[in-house]
Structure 1
Amino acid sequence: MGRYVKNIALLLIVLIAVNWISSAVFERFDMTSDGRYTLSDQSLELLENAPLPIIVDVFLAGDLPAEFRKLQQETQQTLEELAAVHPNLKFNFINPVEGLDDNERAQVVEQLGKNGVKPAMATIMDNVKRTNVVVFPYAIILYDGARTAVPLLKSVARASTEERVNSSIQQLEYQLMDGLRKVSQPKNKKIAIMRDSGELSNIKIADFLASIQEYYKAAPFGVEFVTRNDSISPVEVLEELKKYDLVIEPKPTIAFSETKKYILDQYLMNGGKMIMAVDPIVMENDSLSNEQAIAYPIPRDLEIDEMLFRYGLRLNSGLIKDLNFGPIALAAGQGRNTQYQAFPWPYYPISKGNPLSDKENTITKNIEDVKFEYTGSIDTLKTPNPKTVLLASSQNTQIVTLPAVVSLAEIEQQPDRSEFTASSQPLAVLTEGALTSAYKNRVKPFDTPSHKDQSAESALLLIADGDVMKNQVDRGQPQDLGYDRKTGVFYGNKEFMMNSVNYLLDDSGIIDLRNKDIKIPFLNTQKAYDERFKWQMINIVLPLVVLGIFGLLFTLSRKRRYT
């Protein structure tokens, strides 16, 4: 008896000691094979640089479908990891419309919409019964008086809800840390949006501009006016442009003057970064709005070929057709009865990377398909500066030599695979490093004492389609970049453009969070319903049978021992 009491006392002492050690020394262990709950160095740095209280309200509560409950659980797990590092991070899960009548619910939904929170429709399966519910897959992050809405459900073209949720879970840490970055980090970098060569209007790049301004300062900039204004010199314009960290050319349509080309050239030579989204082809859908529904695309000459050639790039005006394409939506009916029907359209290539390369680039990894419209292509030339093909057409490509005819009658024809024999064509190419000036050993349009023939470290991203950064406009309201309102499909254009901007402005650390590859297993609800009797037997009856057998054997053993 004494020995029994001694063992109990020893056990209690060990338990108390373990409990005290565990309370004094806190450590979390990630036992997942993919490191799902291990925070990246970039997240730890962001949390360290945000010492004030962080409040996160997550609108994922209440009766949710199974896939959204999984998103809820993973969001909670990620927030718990963040809170374990940042003691002043608090989070709540809220159902914003719980207990409200229809009128109150409508008011709340309207107010959430003004804050950037958009509802999504989901389906709850109860045996064979389907119930549609409205969910708000968003989080609101508040820091030092600033707030931002963080989308937790990623838009994935032509994907099921489970696939969207799986893709969203991969991006949870990135989305939350990106939101924290928006509200906690100052806007130190400046971006110049060129507005002097017939570029896209503000409303057509409104969503891209709004996305940029969440991170950086952006302002319109003009160069060409110096050729018509004697009150300011080109040298002064160049010096002013050097104050910007990035220059963006959104689909210029008017040929560049020598003055503008030289200013942009010297901006690059002085370590500048630039994105040029250029259409080498004159072709718009409006050109098909005639009785014959026929258009005649022609080359567009911006007189920048020689400048690009010096940087190791060449724009091609051959019209790209691809068997990996997005649809074109055509209207049927009139007025309120207008409906849109999607048709195959090989002139809309879609791409999410370079099919000829096994290496995934930081900019394009884990993004969705990027949609191009009537695009040309890019050749990379042998120059010392390295070049990276970010986006390319598929290996089933056709190059249409201009002039040519594009007719809507093609939607009634099945694409002939025998015509798509060209290899993959580069559509977006990044060149970095030491670039050679396009004006080396050439006559300059004006003299500047700071002329350089070689850059130390600069970068140029050339895209063979200006429409990549163009959003659609519905009744005077700009839509999300990458959203096709006529087909309801989201493309990855905004992701690609924002990743490119962040990368060029040395904010690639936060992009690296996209590199996590997390695979979330989901329950096959239809299979589970079909096999429910088998699993009920395994989970309920089998344990009872095993327990009964164990009890019987235990009883027989006791009887044998005492007889």
Structure 2
Amino acid sequence: MKKIVISLIVIVAALVLINYGASKWYERFDLTKDQRYTLSPVATQLAESVESTMLIDVFLDGELPPEFRKLQSETQQLLEEYAAVNKNIKFNFVNPTEDESTEAVEQITMRLAQYGIKPAMATIMEGGKSTKVVVFPWAIMVYNGKTTAVPLLKTVARATMEERVNSSIQQLEYQFADGMSKVINEKSKTIAVLRDSGELSDLQIRDFIKTLQQYYRVAPFGIEFVKDNDSVTPVDVLNQLNKFDLIIEPKPTVAFSETKNYIIDQYIMDGGKMLLAADPIIFENDSLANPQSIGYGMPRDLNLDNLLFKYGLRLNNGIVKDERAGGLALATGQGRNTQYEAFDWPYYPISKSDSDNPITKNLEEVKFEYTGTIDTLKNSIKKTVLLSTSPDTQIKILPAAISLAELDQPIDPLATKVGEKPLAVLAEGSFTSAYKNRVKPFEMTNSIDEGKESAIVLIADGDVLKNQIDSGKAQELGYDMRTGALYGNKEFLMNTVNYLLDDTGLIQLRSKNITVPFLNLKKSYDERTKWQLINVLLPLITVVIFGLVFNYLRRKKYSV
């Protein structure tokens, strides 16, 4: 009896010590191959910086289809990781439409729409019947009086729901870290969008600018408006421009003056960064709107050759014709039977990089329209090709006729193919001024010939930045209304801006790769009988074998 009491005391004491130790020393172990439940250093740093209560309401609760239950489970596990890092992070799952009438659901939908939250329709199969339900795959994050919506379901063109969920799960950590960044960090970096050389209109770049404004302070800026008799001198303009961390030039159509070139040159020499989306070709779809459906592409002189040449870059104005192409939607039928049908249009090359560069890693296809190409020249500047054409590329020398008849004509296999040609290039290093040992367009007492560390991203097509417009409203950048395709243009541009402004942490999160296991429905259906028998018979056989062995050993032990 005494031994039993001592054993109980030892067991109780051990349990107390274990519980005490567990309360003091907490550790989580991620045994997954892709470390999906291990927060990245950037996400951990953001979570640790939460100083007061952060509330996260996730609208994924109630009756959900299997795909959304998977998304719900992954979201909960991720938020548990965030909460484990910082107990100020609180989250709960709610169903915003639970036990509500149709009218109430409409009101809730309108209220959530104020935060940019849009519902998704889902189908639930039960008892052989399908039921449509409204699902809000979003979360609301509230911190220190700031509120932001976090999208949980990614839009992927021409993808099944499983593929969308897979893509969404890969982005979950980024989405929540991105939301935290918006409500925690103050906007410190500044961007100037140049508006003086016939660039894309405000409406055409609205989605891009709207996205930038969530992270940075963005303002329009004019250089060419400076006149000789103006009280504002070019030096004054340069001093104002130097206050910005990055300048964006969205598809200029008017040649740069030497004054503008010199101001940009000195801005870069002083360490400023630049995203230049320059279109060396004059051609728009309107050019095909004639009875012959033929237009003519012409070269566009932007007076950038000398500037770019000194930086080790050159814009080529030959137009790209690529077998790997996006769709051009054309109206077919007549009257009420008119429909839009997408045809592969070789002048819409799409590019996807397989490199590990943080700007393009795991990036969706990027769409170009009537683009030129870029040459990289040997100098001390480091050049990285971000996006390029496919190997099956031809270049048409301008001027060149472009006809819709080419839709039915595959690229001639016997014609000269130039291979992969750069469409977007990153140049970084200490640049030499394009005006070194040259006559300057205006006098400066402190001009710089050898620059500080800087970076330029040159894109050979300005339309990469352009969103489509429907009834006066800007659509999401990269979305093609006619074909329904969604390209990675916005993601590419945001990665580029993040990189140029040294916000590389969010880029790494955005490109994190997670493999989500899904059942092979066909295989599971074909082999269902085998697995049913295994699940039913194997436990029974195991119990019978165990019983026989146990009975045999017992008889052997107690036999006389």
TM-score w.r.t. the length of structure 1 is 0.94
Q: CA deviation at 1:554?
A: 4.0
2:48 is the alignment partner of 1:52: no
Q: Distance in 2 between matches of 1:203 and 1:191?
A: 18
Question: 287-296 or 220-229, which moves further after superposition?
Answer: 220-229
What is the CA deviation profile of residues 169-216 of structure 1, one whole-angstrom value per residue up to 9, with x for unaligned ones? 222211110111011111111111111000000000000010010011
Aligned to 1:98: 98
What is the CA deviation profile of residues 274-320 of structure 1, one whole-angstrom value per residue up to 9, with x for unaligned ones? 11101111111111111111111111111111111011000001111
| 2:465–2:489 contact (8 Å) kept in structure 1 | yes
1:31 partner SS: coil
2:403 is the alignment partner of 1:411: no
Aligned to 1:436: 432
Q: Distance in 1 between matches of 2:447 and 2:547?
A: 92
Alignment-mate amino acid for residue 468 of structure 1: V
Q: CA deviation at 1:537?
A: 2.4
Extract unaligned runs of 5+ from structure 2.
none
Q: CA deviation at 1:333?
A: 5.1
2:450 is the alignment partner of 1:465: no
Q: Distance in 2 between matches of 1:125 and 1:412?
A: 43
Aligned to 2:297: 297
What is the CA deviation profile of residues 368-392 of structure 1, one whole-angstrom value per residue up to 9, with x for unaligned ones? 1111111100000001010111111
What is the CA deviation profile of residues 151-170 of structure 1, one whole-angstrom value per residue up to 9, with x for unaligned ones? 22223344332222222222
Q: What are the residue-to-residue correspondences of 1:282-321 with 2, within 5 Å? A: 282-321=282-321
Distance 1:270 1:397, change over 3 A: same
2:260 partner SS: helix
Q: Distance in 1 between matches of 2:469 and 2:214?
A: 21
Alignment-mate amino acid for residue 392 of structure 2: N
Q: Distance in 2 between matches of 1:150 and 1:46?
A: 15
Q: Distance in 2 between matches of 1:9 and 1:544?
A: 39
Aligned to 1:206: 206
1:451 partner SS: coil
| 2:387–2:424 contact (8 Å) kept in structure 1 | yes
Q: What are the residue-to-residue correspondences of 1:532-543 with 2, within 5 Å? A: 532-543=528-539
Distance 1:335 1:498, change over 3 A: farther
Q: Distance in 2 between matches of 1:131 and 1:396?
A: 47
Q: Distance in 1 between matches of 2:452 and 2:168?
A: 39
2:400 partner SS: coil
Distance 1:151 1:134, change over 3 A: same
Query: May I ask how many residue pairs the two structures share in their alignment?
Result: 559
Q: Distance in 1 between matches of 2:516 and 2:168?
A: 10
Alignment-mate amino acid for residue 502 of structure 2: D
Aligned to 2:227: 227
2:510 is the alignment partner of 1:514: yes
What is the CA deviation profile of residues 110-145 of structure 1, one whole-angstrom value per residue up to 9, with x for unaligned ones? 332331112234444569765554432222211111
Q: CA deviation at 1:29?
A: 1.6
Distance 1:237 1:270, change over 3 A: same
Q: Distance in 2 between matches of 1:532 and 1:175?
A: 38
| 1:432–1:458 contact (8 Å) kept in structure 2 | yes
Aligned to 1:454: 450
Aligned to 2:26: 26
Q: CA deviation at 1:2?
A: 5.0
Alignment-mate amino acid for residue 465 of structure 2: M
2:215 is the alignment partner of 1:242: no
Percent identity of paired positions between Structure 1 and Structure 2: 59
Distance 1:549 1:125, change over 3 A: farther
1:484 partner SS: coil
| 1:156–1:368 contact (8 Å) kept in structure 2 | no
Question: 69-78 or 370-379, which moves further after superposition?
Answer: 69-78
Q: CA deviation at 1:233?
A: 0.9
Alignment-mate amino acid for residue 178 of structure 2: D
1:321 partner SS: strand
| 1:67–1:522 contact (8 Å) kept in structure 2 | no
| 1:380–1:387 contact (8 Å) kept in structure 2 | yes
Q: Distance in 2 between matches of 1:323 and 1:415?
A: 7
Alignment-mate amino acid for residue 219 of structure 1: A
1:462 partner SS: strand
Q: CA deviation at 1:148?
A: 1.3
| 1:190–1:218 contact (8 Å) kept in structure 2 | yes
Equivalent of 2:494 in 477, 498, 503? 498
Q: What are the residue-to-residue correspondences of 1:73-222 with 2, within 5 Å? A: 73-124=73-124, 131-222=131-222
| 1:127–1:529 contact (8 Å) kept in structure 2 | no
Q: CA deviation at 1:64?
A: 2.5
Q: Distance in 2 between matches of 1:244 and 1:250?
A: 16
Q: Distance in 2 between matches of 1:230 and 1:193?
A: 22
1:214 partner SS: coil
Q: Distance in 2 between matches of 1:418 and 1:165?
A: 43
Aligned to 2:280: 280
1:297 partner SS: strand
Q: Distance in 1 between matches of 2:115 and 2:463?
A: 28
Distance 1:29 1:531, change over 3 A: same
Q: Distance in 2 between matches of 1:397 and 1:414?
A: 12
Q: Distance in 1 between matches of 2:385 and 2:59?
A: 39
Q: Distance in 1 between matches of 2:253 and 2:79?
A: 47
Q: Distance in 1 between matches of 2:413 and 2:97?
A: 52
TM-score w.r.t. the length of structure 2 is 0.94
Extract unaligned runs of 5+ from structure 1.
none
| 2:50–2:88 contact (8 Å) kept in structure 1 | no
Aligned to 1:360: 356
What is the CA deviation profile of residues 56-80 of structure 1, one whole-angstrom value per residue up to 9, with x for unaligned ones? 1112222323332222211111111
Q: CA deviation at 1:45?
A: 1.9
Q: Distance in 2 between matches of 1:417 and 1:106?
A: 56
Aligned to 2:419: 423
Alignment-mate amino acid for residue 546 of structure 2: F
2:266 is the alignment partner of 1:266: yes
2:324 is the alignment partner of 1:324: yes
Aligned to 2:376: 380
Q: CA deviation at 1:273?
A: 0.5
Q: Distance in 1 between matches of 2:216 and 2:535?
A: 56
Q: CA deviation at 1:83?
A: 0.6
Aligned to 1:395: 391
Q: Distance in 2 between matches of 1:416 and 1:5?
A: 91
Q: Distance in 1 between matches of 2:232 and 2:337?
A: 55
Alignment-mate amino acid for residue 210 of structure 1: K
What is the CA deviation profile of residues 208-232 of structure 1, one whole-angstrom value per residue up to 9, with x for unaligned ones? 0100100111111101111365221
